[in-house]
Structure 1
């Protein structure tokens, strides 16, 4: 019943969520097509959505399944090797999705017809995916609450090469469920029984914003413990912008996937501070795009780079690749800070600013510019 109201009208948050998933899907698929062209070892790519919904909102807006299929039809070569699997437990949603898929222009160009199922996702689904070797697959897991969502399930979806997953994390409901004995088994499945028990002893003394950050960090740590090295959350705020209502969490074992998704989420962020994206969408911020923070996040980045890379010479891209994981900074932030450090004499750049092509009155700081950090005394 919860899904009936949800699919009446597409909210701004739902549109942002769908955009993130669809944009990553096509970027991921192009990387895989490049591997196929170079090595010829990929004969299929997969896309799985086990909580797919009806395909369209009541107002006619397209939801994720249709956006993904449209990307597949528009990407050369993808239509020949893409295998898609959609599922929803609601028969009406499944019927609506089938009709919406049939109406897609050019659908016949897909070599493999989309498979659409009706069923509830539970422990049997985790066991099934854990027991098979998957082709490179991007999975989207979007339950309305926490039923069907577990660490083991996410691990099963990313265990094989080329497999990435993004899932919906209903922070509001999960936060309320952490100390609710009636849903203890769901919390144990998501965080691990030992971790969630330890969390319960810490959370009571935290303020709401501290609690939110702590829960998301513990979730990321729980997933990393299972081998998912790269975890990236994107938060959605309540309508008044006060607190997080839910998050979209990306999980991968590959640094390239993490970097691509980070750039996508950065562009979908509703605010930034000193050019550093918030990795969050707030309807209040979108309506009133005022300065959301006075944290001055770049102020500490230069000092951190000086300590971290003391005595080393490396390209700007190498600095970025080695430093940015689990930090909010994107490539443009590093280029800005390194340029400022060069101007202040804190690093030596090769070629120097005088020999680099200026843009908007300032010298560019390209990926291949070599940076020498002074040794520490």
Structure 2
């Protein structure tokens, strides 16, 4: 699905979507559409792959294609005259589902500014067709948010993720089917695992990562952490979320990657909002069994940070980036305040004489350095 929201002649939001099994996850891009990151001071683009399917289900009449259209309609109501057009491109490879989707779209009354383009074909081929549309959402000048959600571990080559993140203003949120990838790995040759995993990771790095791993839960954590590391080779900011149902059982992993720290900050804020609704709870995929957004995890993350930087003198920005990429927090202030109180860091800030102990600025401050004890 491609959403293009314009503001004063510039792209404000775009989305390309494909695939939906879990309608609750649609709330993530929907919230981002309604809250277009004003701190960025530029257009916000959305591209996501979740909108695929017949458009309705027997137990849930509004499938993700319809939910996305309604999210766009909500965005139009909230943003008002700032918004130009929203372009929605739906990619579906099954002919019967595609026919049902077309019928469902025809029955859906929407704002005249929402324009819909259903495409019959695979996601990869559909993305090629999207590029041929007027106002190509993958124009290199267009900020892009990509929500990529394949049905299973197949169909989402890492090469596509790399291509998207090569765009200067692109962010991606990927549903990483770590469980499915782990099962393919354990199945071995009869599941054509080498071809599929090379495609999923873009190379054979998974072989060394998973060598000798026999237990599926261990393989799952190694898979999602490898995926995050590969994202970090492409952009400076990446984080993985472990999504759990209300009963606390593991559901799936989401990996987010951005060129800009504000993108990851906004994503964590949205996840926290959804977490408070009770529909999901979130866990840091790097820390086993720690529920995300709990303040009592502070000592754990503070100790993790202190061990990572032990004996080093680092800038405020470096510690802030680490907190954003490796902890539940959107910045390093709470972690550093905790560490200063327990004597595990010293702070020098000659250009910031008004600073009080245990307090840190909202933004990067030139000349501030953190000295971690060995």
TM-score interval, smaller chain: 0.5 to 0.7
Aligned to 2:162: 155
Question: CA offsets, 1:138-167, max 9 Å, x none?
Answer: 222222112311101212233222222222
Whether the 8 Å CA contact 2:90–2:117 is kept in 1: the answer is: yes
Query: In structure 1, how many angstroms separate the alpha carbons of the residues matched to 2:212 and 2:180?
Result: 19
Aligned to 2:92: 88
Whether the 8 Å CA contact 1:45–1:81 is kept in 2: the answer is: no
Q: Secondary structure at the match of 2:325?
A: coil
Aligned to 2:226: 218
Aligned-pair RMSD on alpha carbons?
4.4
Query: In structure 1, how many angstroms separate the alpha carbons of the residues matched to 2:314 and 2:210?
Result: 44
Aligned to 2:178: 171
Q: Secondary structure at the match of 2:169?
A: coil
Query: In structure 1, how many angstroms separate the alpha carbons of the residues matched to 2:272 and 2:37?
Result: 20
- Distance apart, 1:293 and its partner CA: 9.3
- Distance apart, 1:196 and its partner CA: 2.9
Q: Secondary structure at the match of 2:212?
A: helix
Matched residue count? 327
Distance 1:251 1:26, change over 3 A: farther
- Distance apart, 1:368 and its partner CA: 5.9
| Unaligned stretches of 5+ residues in structure 2 | 1-19, 133-137
Using the size of structure 1 for normalisation, the TM-score is 0.67
Aligned to 1:191: 201
Distance 1:109 1:258, change over 3 A: same
Question: CA offsets, 1:180-199, max 9 Å, x none?
Answer: 32333221101244213324
Query: In structure 2, how many angstroms separate the alpha carbons of the residues matched to 1:28 and 1:109?
Result: 17
Q: 2:119 aligns with which of 97, 109, 117?
A: 117
Q: Secondary structure at the match of 2:118?
A: strand
Q: 1:22 aligns with which of 30, 43, 54?
A: 30
Whether the 8 Å CA contact 1:126–1:153 is kept in 2: the answer is: no
Q: 2:303 aligns with which of 300, 303, 307?
A: 300
Question: CA offsets, 1:108-133, max 9 Å, x none?
Answer: 134xx1212121224x4566789974
Aligned to 1:3: none
Q: 2:264 aligns with which of 258, 262, 271?
A: 258
| Unaligned stretches of 5+ residues in structure 1 | 1-5, 37-43, 272-276, 355-362
Give 1:1-377 correspondences, 5 Å limit: 14-15=23-24, 17-28=25-36, 30=38, 34-35=41-42, 45=45, 47-49=47-49, 51-57=51-57, 58-61=59-62, 63=64, 64-73=67-76, 74-76=78-80, 79-98=83-102, 101=105, 107-110=111-114, 113-122=115-124, 124=125, 133-134=139-140, 135-178=142-185, 179-181=187-189, 182-184=191-193, 185-204=195-214, 207-225=215-233, 227-237=234-244, 241=248, 244-269=250-275, 278-279=283-284, 296-300=299-303, 303-304=306-307, 307=310, 310=313, 318=317, 321-331=320-330, 334-341=332-339, 351=354, 367=362, 373=370
Q: Secondary structure at the match of 1:75?
A: helix
Query: In structure 1, how many angstroms separate the alpha carbons of the residues matched to 2:210 and 2:342?
Result: 48
- Distance apart, 1:223 and its partner CA: 3.6
